[in-house]
Amino acid sequence: MPELPEVEIAMRGITPFLEGQLIRTCRLNAPALRYPFGADFQNGLEGKTVLALERRGKFILIHLDSKQSLIWHLGMSGRIRTFAPESDYAPVKHDHVLITAGDGQRIVYNDARRFGFMRLVPSQNWHKETHFIGMGPEPLGNGFNGPALLEALYSKTAPIKITLLDQRIVAGVGNIYASEALFESGISPLRPAGSLNEDEGAKLAGAIRHVLERAIASGGSSLRDYQHTDGSLGYFQHMFSVYDRAGTPCPVCSTQKGRQDGQGIIRITQGGRSTFYCPQCQK
DNA sequence: CTCCTGTCCTGCCGGC
DNA sequence: TGCCGGCAGGACAGGA
């Protein structure tokens, strides 16, 4: 499910419930998510105080005062809900992890498909965990721009859409925002990644940043099960140009004189996953 | 190395 | 109405 914007919003949502707070209890309703929790998981959380939270790619990191950090990934269907101390928590199916903190506020992790996971690792070396080794730059950070992107792409022969999903190229881009960024930059998803020129590299880097920033500002994309931690919905899905819009007119070329004969947005499959684009606008 | 495919798991939707 | 196939926001392993 969640790509960078949704993970960022989830992290912002839980921060006021956890930052500086004592974790009182951690209840597990399943033996494993993607991986087993491990015998020491609950003990590693209970009685510890949260120092800080941060995001890296699609991962949330929760640093504890025990020199351990919680690595948290939401997989495809992971969702976090928060409950204020005095509010009622009504359990729903697939609520796998319940954390009670501070004054009694609760943080609940629900994940129908259990593709997500939580792992405790030494804080000092969290970035040396396999998930983060070789991970590409943060697209909203200073290290990401046209030249840096081109450098990462130049030797690649795979289609640019598939390559953008590789977290070693740039962190946090997933299936929705890869299609959206390619549309915004006018680049065909079928282009070999290494074939982009300087101008296209700059355009694509800018489009990735722009799309992600707009998605965060719009509260992310609420498809299927994704919601904010307080239960509210994002509305960036209403601003998709191409994703899940197969058969609709292209928002750019359908309005241009002499170009109304395009077939509109089409869906293709690349690497077993859907790609949406406008064959007329994206070359 | 890169690339391509399959797999983990449940839910939902459309077609018959 | 029920059943079945296909698809879903991700990451990783293993083989070519």
The CA distances from residue A174 to A61, A76, A208, A260, in Å, are 19, 11, 11, 30
**Residue A249 appears among annotated catalytic residues:** no
pLDDT tens for each residue of A197-247: 999 999 999 999 999 999 999 998 888 666 788 888 889 988 999 999 999
A58 flagged as catalytic: yes
> By the 8 A CB rule, do A142 and A206 touch?
no
Nearest residue to C11 via alpha carbon and C1': A75
pLDDT of residue A233: 87
Write the pLDDT tens digit of every residue in A151-176.
999 999 999 999 999 999 999 999 99
Which residue out of A24, A34, A113, A273 is catalytically annotated? A273
Give the whole-angstrom CA distance, residue A216 versus residue A206: 16
**Mean pLDDT, range A79-84, rounded to an integer:** 96
pTM value surpassing 0.85: yes
Cα A83 from Cα A79, distance rounded (Å): 14
Closest by CA to A118, choosing from A66, A173, A174, A59, is A59
Query: What is residue A271's predicted lDDT score, i.e. its pLDDT?
Result: 92
Gap between the Cα atoms of A268 and A12, Å rounded: 34
Give Cα A133 distance to the centre of its chain.
Answer: 18
Q: Quick check: A68 pLDDT over 60? A: yes
Q: Give the whole-angstrom CA distance, residue A111 versus residue A267.
A: 28
Judge whether A34 and A116 are in contact, CB under 8 Å.
yes
CB-CB contact of A100 with A142 (8 Å) = no
Catalytic (active site) residue A19: no
Average pLDDT rounded to a whole number, residues A266-275: 94
Report d(CA A190, CA A192) in Å as an integer.
Answer: 6
Which pLDDT tens digit goes with each residue over A42-58?
999 999 999 999 999 99
A193 touches strand B (CB under 7 A): yes
What is the percentage of chain A residues whose pLDDT exceeds 70? 96
| Catalytic residue from among A3, A8, A180, A200 | A3
Predicted confidence (pLDDT) at residue A261 exceeds the cutoff of 70: no
| Nucleic strand B near CB of residue A165 (< 7 Å) | no
